[in-house]
């Protein structure tokens, strides 16, 4: 199976180092390590050949990337780096190692603040925070030293999207100094895509890989839709037209994913609002029932008083005088009206 790190001589007999995939690797995924590069550079260092480092990687372990950067920088002006596809995160540190730095006009480039995972108490969190700040400082120093850009401009790029950065085009990279030359890709072998598609058939079922399965399936579908076929070595030839098709398809896929995420968030918001409205309605209903019960109790109490009034208590011929042991007509009528008003309120 094709590896994510390859070394060979090109047509001009220059040494080419292909770095595809994760920097550093992990227990579930093969990656490019410091040891890989160090072992290959031992023999190269003895020659006077130029070195072309071709990078297509979304990043990985920043420690490995910093170490690889130092190895390549030590080779002097013999090193040229070339970015194609997407070069992001830790991979951009390696891209800075070239005395000449090239980038395909169809590629994308991203720098951001470092990530890390941590479990522990507040002291551990403080230690990791300080470590992150130190690493961010090292990355800023490399970017500013190699590009000649202002520190505040580099920090602003890394701060975009809440520290996750934003994809830069080759024109933007040329403007900031990340690259020294923009190149047009012609018949580039997509060995990264080839390796990824092949790895679909040798993939475990761990949770982190399930997302990768979807990504690999999307890559395979893109190749099929765009009628891209492999040569006898198993590599896919990507000319300018093919790269444009794939880039457009990937962009459309990402835009669709963003739309779906927005719709999902809107649906969650609507669901929460509906639940809040339902809770408010239930609370209002409970309040109304409580008020009804209170009014009913008052009606029952007043009705009991009326029922106890002596017969003949109402005066005759409108005589509103009060006799011994009897209520006046106004008192009797007032109680009757209060009862009727309470019943009317209860009905409402």
Strands 15-20 and 51-57: parallel
Per-residue pLDDT, averaged over 49-64, amounts to 91
**Tens digit of pLDDT for each residue in 137-178?**
999 999 999 999 999 999 999 999 999 999 999 999 999 999
Of 24-28, 240-244, 323-327, give the lowest mean pLDDT range: 323-327
- Report how far residue 65's alpha carbon sits from residue 75's, in angstroms, rounded to the nearest whole number: 16
pLDDT digits (tens, 9 = 90+) for 177-212: 999 999 875 444 444 444 444 444 444 444 444 444
Q: Show Cβ contacts of residue 153 under 8 Å, excluding neighbours closer than 6 positions.
A: 176
Strands 51-57 and 108-110, how do they pair? unpaired
Separation of alpha carbons 103 and 182, rounded Å: 5
Confidence of residue 229 (pLDDT cuts 50, 70, 90): low
Outline where DSSP puts E strands in 41-111.
51-57, 79-88, 100-104, 108-110
> Whole-model pTM above 0.75?
no
At 169 the pLDDT is 95
Pairwise CA distance, residues 343 & 327, whole Å: 23
Q: How confident is the model at residue 227 (pLDDT cuts 50, 70, 90)?
A: low
Pairing assessment for the beta strands 5-9 and 15-20 based on DSSP bridges? antiparallel
> CA 237 to CA 190: how far, in whole Å?
6
Strand partners, 19: 5, 55
Residue 299 to residue 307: CA distance in whole angstroms: 12
Q: CB under 8 Å to 5, separation ≥6 — which residues? A: 17, 18, 19, 20, 32, 33, 36, 37
162 or 246, which is more confident: 162
Tokens 């480092």 map to which residue? 53
Which three-class secondary structure state does DSSP give residue 271?
helix
Mean pLDDT score, 271-300: 87
């Amino acid at each position: 199976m094709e590896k994510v790190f390859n070394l060979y001589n090109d047509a001009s007999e220059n040494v080419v180092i292909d770095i595809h995939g994760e920097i550093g690797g992990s227990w579930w995924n093969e990656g490019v390590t410091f040891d890989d590069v160090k072992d290959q550079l031992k023999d190269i260092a003895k020659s006077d050949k130029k070195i072309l480092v071709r990078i297509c990687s979304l990043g990985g372990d920043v420690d490995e990337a910093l170490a690889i950067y130092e190895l390549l920088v030590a080779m002097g002006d013999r090193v040229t780096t070339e970015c194609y596809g997407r070069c992001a995160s830790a991979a951009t540190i390696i891209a800075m190692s070239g005395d000449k730095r090239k980038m395909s006009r169809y590629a994308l480039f991203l720098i951001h603040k470092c990530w890390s995972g941590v479990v522990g108490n507040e002291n551990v969190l403080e230690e990791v925070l300080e470590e992150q700040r130190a690493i961010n400082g090292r990355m800023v120093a490399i970017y500013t030293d190699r590009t000649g850009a202002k520190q505040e401009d580099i920090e602003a790029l890394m701060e975009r999207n809440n520290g996750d950065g934003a994809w830069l085009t080759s024109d933007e990279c040329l403007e900031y100094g990340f690259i020294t030359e923009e190149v047009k890709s012609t018949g580039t072998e997509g060995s990264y895509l080839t390796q990824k598609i092949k790895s679909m058939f040798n993939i475990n079922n761990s949770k982190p890989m399930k997302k990768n399965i979807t990504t690999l399936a999307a890559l395979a579908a893109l190749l099929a839709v765009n009628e891209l076929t492999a040569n006898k070595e198993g590599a896919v030839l990507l000319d300018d037209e093919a790269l444009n098709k794939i880039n457009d398809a990937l962009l459309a896929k990402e835009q669709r994913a963003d739309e779906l995420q927005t719709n999902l968030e809107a649906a969650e918001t609507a669901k929460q609002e509906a639940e809040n409205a339902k809770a408010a309605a239930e609370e209002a209903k409970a309040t109304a029932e409580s008020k009804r019960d209170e009014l009913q109790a008052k009606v029952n109490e007043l009705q009991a008083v009326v029922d106890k009034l002596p017969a003949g208590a109402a005066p005759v011929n409108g005589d509103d005088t009060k006799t011994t042991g009897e209520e006046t007509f106004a008192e009797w009528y007032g109680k009757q009206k209060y009862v009727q008003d309470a019943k009317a309120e209860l009905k409402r």
